[in-house]
Amino acid sequence: MLDAAMLMSLDEVCTNVLILAEGLEKDEFLSSRLTRAEVRHQILTMTGLAKNISPAIRHRMPELDWSGFEVLSVQIGQSGQAENEALWFSITSLIPATLMWLRVYKKTHPTLFSFRPGAS
């Protein structure tokens, strides 16, 4: 049940980031203090959620880049160019791919997202 809640939250956070960054070019995004700060916050939330999803669920969802989330959490903690590149990579690659796979899994394995005890 907890994994289902975290997967649903992961989906929501990914959607939030894409909405926040929609239509922005890299330079615009990086120079926007407020948007950049909120995207950074959302991405840290996302990496925290991913870290806490059980190994059993991770194993059932191998297309998600679980190790990429771990690397991202380290890179986001750095300042300067490394963090900027990690944020932009997240917006343009990691998050869209994650969102796509979460939606595939919702259709093919809906029990992973079920809040019923013993459903996953």
Tens digit of pLDDT per residue, the chain (120 long)? Answer: 689 999 999 999 999 999 999 999 999 999 999 999 999 999 999 999 999 999 999 999 999 999 999 999 899 988 889 999 999 999 999 999 999 999 999 999 999 998 765 544
Cβ-proximal residues to 119 (8 Å cutoff; 6+ apart), any chain: 1, 4, 111
Spatial contact of 4 and 102, defined as CB atoms under 8 Å apart: no
Spatial contact of 50 and 65, defined as CB atoms under 8 Å apart: no
For residue 61, count other CB atoms closer than 10 A to its CB.
17
Helix or strand holding residue 44 (H, E): helix 33-52
3-class SS at 78?
Answer: coil
Beta strands in the chain (DSSP E): none
Q: What is the pTM of this model?
A: 0.88
Q: Roughly what angle, to the nearest 10 degrees, separates helices 2-21 and 95-108?
A: 140
Q: Count Cβ neighbours within 10 Å for each residue of 16-38 and write b for 16 or more, e otherwise.
A: bbbebbeebeeeebbeeeeebee
